[in-house]
Amino acid sequence: FYIRGCPKHTFLMHADDDLKSMFVGTVMRKIKSRTWKKHRYFRLQEDCMTIWYKSKKAANAHSTSVREGHQSEVLLSIADEFPPDRCFTLVFRGRRGNLDLVAESAGEAQSWIKGIRKLIDNLENMGQREKLDQWICDWFKKADKNRDGQMNFKEVRDLLKMMNVDMNEHHALRLFTMADKSQSGTLEDDEFVLFYKMLTQREDVLRVFQEYSGNGQKLTLQDLKDFLREEQLHEDGIQQYALKLIERYEPSDTARMLQAMTFDGFLMYLTSPEGSIFNPSMVELYQDMTQPLCHYFISSSHNTYLLEDQIRGHSSVEGYIRALKRGCRCVEVDCWDGPNGEPIVYHGHTFTSKIFFKDVVTVLGNYAFKVLVLSDGNTTVLASQYPVILSIENHCSVEQQKLMAQHLTQILGDKLLKSPLDGKILISLPSPEDLKGKILLKGKKIGGLEDGMNGVVDDPLMGEKSKQHLSKELSDCVVYCKSVHFSGFKHSQIHSKFYEISSFTESKARKHIREAGAEFVLHNVRQLSRVYPSGLRTDSSNFNPQDMWNAGCQIVALNFQTAGVEMDQNDGLFSQNGHCGYILKPAFMRKIDERFDPENPQNDGYKPLSLSIQVISGQQLPKVNMKEGSIIDPLVRVEIHGVPLDQAKQETRYIDNNGFNPVWYDTLQFTIHVPELALVRFVVEDYDKTSKNDFVGQFTLPFTCIQPGYRHIHLLSKDGTSITPSSLFVNVRITNVN
């Protein structure tokens, strides 16, 4: 491993024409609006990860994707001025705004687009070891102030502070001297790597390794099998699995030939996806997708067009793109009469900005089931292929409704579901599998499905149509999601149709759960329910979605633009099953003859579990206060989100001044009464005795996706993006409660 210049990236740069031209740099227009268009000089830095312009950091390639042409609102607004082949957009993960650029020529634009995609691809395909090497390389560059490729002791001391390490000077000097093999008074290349390895020596993992190693130097195949069986609770095919781990993670050729694992290989395994707390087999699509639509929780967004608050916030098609890319499968539009007969979308009677309905539909058509065709002919699926529900809050006149129907039909084409599948009326909703690649409209409808199938058509000026102030054309676009007023559980049990859906404010939903929880669950076995935030949440805050999932509500609409525990829960629930936006509800929530009350869940199959989590250590936790010399005092809180009986939280003690490698060995115990509905959230905070603790990182996952044993938890930032290599090391035990 070489620090200076990070050779892998240097090789990339010299071997690729696109990267070479990016490294030289280009003058492009940065576009903020129709009137703000300024020339800026852009250049790829030597790390092949950072793009700089006018001495300001603009973007990290590993945290972006790139769109070609007029694929942002800003670039669409200047489409008459610059052709699409010169335009592209850098899109950032999380909640950061886009960077819209116009190159001087189509060739130049292509060079940057292809170059950035190669860099993103390279970063996303890095192994754990490469990521760590890259991380070490980055730290070296930050600390090497005079850029001479060497680090003196003062630079090392400054580096330790940057890395969240509070180490006394004597110990730091001892490590420095041990690493300085050349006795030059500076560290370079391999000497810095050695210093880093001494600094990050994992005594916690070494203790586990030596417990199972016969000679303390390696794990034989039998040693590894014993560890996997006794600690990681693997059962089937353990010999093949142990051999696979050695082949995949053991860096020593000699050890691999001996079918053994060294400490380095053991550590690589424990920090890999297979050593993660999240069961890798459940990250992929693994659930039955052929059940009726109402048998799934569906990732859902509220007022999707808003990027900020509900009163003065900016409306943008970008909200739809971000939500869809995040796995959302139900988006919302509020439609109002617009100028020149063209319907608009905004939060009515507020100061939020306005966008055209047709632009929202265009984005939906482009991004609902997005598949990227790569230059080598292969394809990458960027979004789930399961159905998207477009929930329409309709305030338009009949005339503009006709235009809405026209836009939906013309822009979406075959993607829009306009009639029952196979021309048949079923007795229950079709499945996500049946509806793959389809967009379903949720809105008011004249009459029912049966009327249209039997050839019954209302006179447009008479009866139900005139009362509802609804155009037939828009009504005909609604098939399986007819919006109806909720008149009580008894009424819906007798009169409701399977294709009808009712919406509830969060407070109404809570009232029904409190007063008739079991009836609400049964209602949701038969048909869809949507729950949305209170109108009082003008700051776009969110309610607790878990309460609604506990009652089987499928469409729990959240403000995706607002980070916090509620979106962590949503991301956690939908992080399984291939991020497809659909999660099969537990069996007891899908049966008409079962009675499950979330407020009192001890039913016939009641089997509580005991969850024991020993929080062992943390690794390279990020700084939250950038003041010089400031180092965090981390604590870990584990929260259980589930039925009321399961709601619980416990935390470790805090560790003074160590965000780099804090050690706790604190054990937290929980009883889980309904494991099928429980989420487990790990939160790291910087303890402050005088004010509110600062957030450091978190990770949320379904209880059913937990792998027991010694596991790493790879932490995420507030907006759900990775903060490599920050992690926690834990030992998890799940047992039956006697």
- 282 is known to lie in a ligand binding site: no
Euclidean distance between the first and the last CA atom of the chain, given in angstroms as a whole number:
53
- 530 is known to lie in a ligand binding site: yes
Give the whole-angstrom CA distance, residue 80 versus residue 171.
Answer: 64
Q: What contacts 201, CB < 8 A, 6 or more positions away?
A: none
For residue 312, CA distances in Å to 350, 351, 596 come to: 7, 5, 42
- 41 is known to lie in a ligand binding site: yes
Q: What contacts 530, CB < 8 A, 6 or more positions away?
A: 300, 330, 391, 442, 501, 502, 503, 504, 553, 554, 555, 556, 557
Burial of 13 (0-12, 13-18, 19+ CB in 10 A): buried
Burial per residue of 457-479, b for 16 or more beta-carbon CB atoms within 10 angstroms, e otherwise? eeeeeeeebeeeebbbbbbbbbb
Pairing status of strand 344-345 against strand 330-336: antiparallel
- 45 is known to lie in a ligand binding site: yes
- 503 is known to lie in a ligand binding site: yes
For residue 507, CA distances in Å to 164, 504, 643, 695, 728 come to: 44, 8, 17, 29, 37
- 451 is known to lie in a ligand binding site: no
Q: What contacts 405, CB < 8 A, 6 or more positions away?
A: 471, 473, 474, 476, 477
- 105 is known to lie in a ligand binding site: no
- 646 is known to lie in a ligand binding site: no
- 35 is known to lie in a ligand binding site: yes
- Could you tell me the two tokens for 4? 């200076």
- 658 is known to lie in a ligand binding site: no
- 52 is known to lie in a ligand binding site: yes
The H helix count followed by the E strand count for the chain is 24, 30
Tokens 């949507």 found at: 530
- 475 is known to lie in a ligand binding site: no
- 53 is known to lie in a ligand binding site: yes
Q: How many CB atoms lie within 10 A of CB 166?
A: 15
- 226 is known to lie in a ligand binding site: no
- 37 is known to lie in a ligand binding site: yes
| 269, amino acid identity | Y
- 418 is known to lie in a ligand binding site: no
- 34 is known to lie in a ligand binding site: yes
Give the whole-angstrom CA distance, residue 103 versus residue 28.
Answer: 5
| Cβ pair 617, 205 in contact under 8 A | no
- 57 is known to lie in a ligand binding site: yes
CA of residue 176 relative to chain centroid, distance: 40
- 438 is known to lie in a ligand binding site: no
349 is catalytic: no
- 444 is known to lie in a ligand binding site: yes
Q: Is the dihedral of CA 340, 342, 343, 344 positive or negative?
A: negative
- 562 is known to lie in a ligand binding site: no
- 334 is known to lie in a ligand binding site: yes
Choosing from 302, 407, 512, 673, the catalytic residue is: 302
- Could you tell me the two tokens for 315? 């409306």
- 320 is known to lie in a ligand binding site: no
- 623 is known to lie in a ligand binding site: no
- 38 is known to lie in a ligand binding site: yes
- 355 is known to lie in a ligand binding site: no
- 595 is known to lie in a ligand binding site: no
495 is catalytic: no
- 135 is known to lie in a ligand binding site: no
Tokens 């790879």 found at: 714
CA dihedral 463, 465, 469, 472 (to 10 degrees): -160
Choosing from 347, 523, 712, 714, the catalytic residue is: 347
Give the whole-angstrom CA distance, residue 657 versus residue 655.
Answer: 7
- 46 is known to lie in a ligand binding site: yes
- 340 is known to lie in a ligand binding site: no
CA dihedral 134, 135, 136, 140 (to 10 degrees): 100
| 707, amino acid identity | Q
Q: What contacts 654, CB < 8 A, 6 or more positions away?
A: 633, 634, 635, 687
Of 26, 46, 7, 207, nearest to 107 (Cα)?
Answer: 26
Q: State the binding site for substrate.
A: 30-57, 442, 444, 503, 530
Q: State the binding site for Ca(2+).
A: 303, 332, 334, 393, 631, 633, 657, 686-688
- Which residues does the annotation mark as catalytic? 302, 347
Q: State the binding site.
A: 30-57, 303, 332, 334, 393, 442, 444, 503, 530, 631, 633, 657, 686-688
